[in-house]
Structure 1
Amino acid sequence: MFARGAKTGREFSFIGPDVTVTGNIVTDGRLHVDGTVTGDIRCGSLTQGSSGAVHGNIVAEEAELAGLVDGAVEAGTLTLAASARITGDVLYETVGIAAGAQVEGRFRRRKGPSDHGASAAREEGLRAISPPPSAMAERASGGERPVRQPTRRSAPRRPEPAELFAHSADPTPQIEAAE
C-alpha cells in the first residue's frame, strides 16, 4: 500500500476503490485516489481515478483528476480527464482539459507558486461582486454616477378568451361617420 515512488523519490499512497477516508489528508508525497475521501487533501502530487470521489478541497503541486470533486481545486499543474466532474472553483497555473470534463465553478489562473490558497479565490470572488470602498465613497459624495440599466418592458397583455369572442347584444355593426 505504501511504497517509495521510483520516479520522484516521494512516498506513494493509494486509496483503493473500496476504501472510504473521513478526515483531512496531508502529505508531501504522491497520492492516488480511487476510493472516497470526505475531507480536504493537501499533497505534492494527486492522481484521481474515474471511480474516485473527493468531498472537500484539494491543494496539490500537480493534480490529474478523472472522478468527482465536490470542493475547490488548487494546483500548479492541473489535468482534467474526460470523466472529471468538479463542483467548485479552480485555481491553477497550467491547465489541460479533455473534452467531456465538467466543471461547475470559476477558473482563476494563479500567477505563481506564492499566489495560492482557497482564500485567495474566495477573496477574488468577493471583489467581483462588491465594488471597492473608494467607489462607494465617490458615489455617496456625488461623484461619478452609476450607469442606469435599461428598464425591461413587459410583453403585451394577452387578451382573455372572453375578450376575443365578445359580442354585443345588438347584432348590427357599429359604424362611426367621419366628419
Structure 2
Amino acid sequence: MRIVLLGPPGAGKGTQAERLSERFAIPQLSTGDMLRAAVAAGTPIGHKADDIMKRGELVPDDVVVAVIVERIEQPDAADGFILDGFPRTVGRAEALDGVLAINAHELHRVLEIKVDEKVLLDRVLRRAAEAKANGLPVRKDDTQDALSVRLTAYGDQTRPLIDYYSNRGLLTSVDGLQSIDLVTAALVEAIGA
C-alpha cells in the first residue's frame, strides 16, 4: 500500500501519517524529517537544504527526489509506505511515478487533508509554543513569516497536485478541521481498508 498525504503546512499530515503507519504497519516517510535529520547530521544535502528551509522555501526537486528514492528502496518499505510531505510539485509527482514504475509499483491512494489557511497559523504557533514549553527544539520554520512563505509556495506549487492526482482517480479529500480521531477515521475509510 503506497499512500501520499497532501495538505498545507500545519494541516496535521505528520500526526495522521504516524497513525496510518501504525494501523497499516508500513513506514511513514517524512521528507521534512529526513531533511531535518540531514541538516542535524551536517551532511552535504543537509547543508544545501538548511538555508532554504530556514526561509520556508521548498528544497530543490533533485535533492528531495534523491532522498526519497534512497528511502523507498529500503526493505521496510517493500510492502508500502506513507509519504508525508512529498511530492510537493507536479515534477516531483512525475519523478515518483517514474521510480515506482521502474519497480512495477504504483500509488494506492492520495489523501488531501483540507484545512482553512486562517486556522493554520494558530496551529503552527501552538506547535512551536508546546515544543518550547516541553524543552524540545522549535522547528525553524514554525514562525509566522516562514508559514506565510510556505503557504504561498503551497498555493503556487503544490495545489496543482490536486488536479494531477484527481485526474488519475487517486485523490480523496478529508476535512482536517475535525478532531484528530475523526480525521483518522475518514482517512482510513478513504483508503478502503
TM-score norm. by structure 1 comes to 0.29
Q: Answer with 1 or 2: which has the greater Rg.
A: 1
- Structure number with the bigger relative contact order (C-alpha 8 A, sep ≥ 6) is 2
Give the number of the structure whose residues are more often strand, by fraction.
1
